Amino acid sequence: MTAPLLLNDTTEIGLREFSALGSKAVVATATPDAIDVAAAILHEELVAIDMACSRFRRDSEISRVHREAGSTVEVSPLLAEAIDTALRVAEDTDGAVDPTVGTAVIELGYDRDFAAVARRPATVVTTPRPAPGWRCVAWDARRRRVTVPFGVVLDLGATAKALAADRAASRIAAVTGSGVLVNLGGDVSLAGPAPDGGWAVGISLLCTTAPQDTHVVVAIRQGGLASSGTAVRTWIRGDRRVHHIIDPETGDTAGSYWRLVSVAAPSCVEANAASTAAIVWGPSAIDRLSALALPCRLVGDDGTVVVLGGWPADGERPPGSGTRSEA
């Protein structure tokens, strides 16, 4: 997952940055005085989603569900929301973004916080196996009861971070009355009134790119924006380099076709679902994303750029917008 850069004039907004969920968390408020409350709320939301959904914590709620595999477990409202979101996204993407890839991700070596995975020496990889499929999870949304079969590990990472961004942005706007942007390692959510001209967000393949070196900038006022890529969360497994986006049909790293996909949508969850699924869909992503009618920008492994759904062509600038483009 890449991390879009916030490029607004920081003298006119409130801004906080800190590390969370294995990436960088950014919160910005259109009203500078609201930033302290906003940062506190975001921190609370991130602690809560980590305790509910992290497969790296033995004390998380999802780890308890895994320990009770085969049994029906009643879960908290937050984990229920996360599970419901993950299963809905799986259905909406025809299984391209599937939470039952947990075992596949672990067997590829992503079994702990990513910083530790990246430092670990290369090891021999096991033969990939297809994911069991999201339909094997018995889910009663009304009663908040889930049954995960033996041997199935849920990886909610593909959707829980985007959900946390949406939850935090909505709550911050409601409490402070300020417009807000929340960016969790490339999952961006907006709520409340945006600054004049919108929130200026740079799209970059690498999260370490300096703002002045970012040549693709969009202005967004509402909804969500997500970028999924194959160049950042990578590590060596056996004799090859793998990344964190898994094709559920193979249980292996998704094929190499798109280097970076960015999508704007009514929510961060929807944007993230589409951008992640596009990496898995490969060459069919253009037709599938066109059917969704969402603004998208896709960068192929060969550097070819494709824009869809009204996303501006690279270098296109609305009159008087400076370095900003509308998406």
What single DSSP character describes residue 98? -
According to the model, what pLDDT value does residue 239 have?
A: 58
Please give the helix or strand (H or E) that residue 25 lies within, else none: strand 23-29
According to the model, what pLDDT value does residue 202 have?
A: 87
According to the model, what pLDDT value does residue 232 have?
A: 65
According to the model, what pLDDT value does residue 316 have?
A: 57
Domains plus CATH for the chain?
5-308 (3.10.520.10)
According to the model, what pLDDT value does residue 319 have?
A: 36
According to the model, what pLDDT value does residue 322 have?
A: 35
CA atoms within 13 A on the CB side of 201: 35
Residues 6 or more apart whose CB falls under 8 angstroms from that of 152 comprise 69, 100, 102, 103, 132, 136, 137
Consecutive 10-residue averages of pLDDT for the chain (327 residues): 63 87 88 97 97 93 97 98 98 97 77 51 70 97 97 93 97 98 94 93 72 78 91 60 76 83 97 96 96 95 93 63 37
Long-range contacts of 122-126 (CB under 8 A, 24+ apart): 122/236, 122/237, 122/238, 122/239, 123/237, 123/238, 124/238, 125/237, 125/238, 125/240, 125/242
According to the model, what pLDDT value does residue 22 have?
A: 72
Q: Is 325 helix (H, G, I), strand (E, B) or coil?
A: coil
According to the model, what pLDDT value does residue 250 have?
A: 86
According to the model, what pLDDT value does residue 1 have?
A: 46
252-305 tens-digit pLDDT:
786 789 999 999 999 999 999 999 999 999 999 999 999 999 999 999 989 999
Whole-number Å distance between alpha carbons of 60 and 83: 14
Q: Where are the alpha helices (DSSP H) in 4-131?
A: 35-53, 61-67, 77-92, 102-107, 114-119
**Max CA-CA distance within the chain?**
60
Whole-number Å distance between alpha carbons of 79 and 95: 20
Query: DSSP secondary structure string, 131-195?
Result: ---GGGSEEETTTTEEEPPTT-----HHHHHHHHHHHHHHHHHHHH-S-EEEEETTEEEEESPPP
According to the model, what pLDDT value does residue 326 have?
A: 41
According to the model, what pLDDT value does residue 11 have?
A: 65
According to the model, what pLDDT value does residue 209 have?
A: 64
Q: Please, what sign has the CA dihedral across residues 152, 22, 14, 226?
A: negative
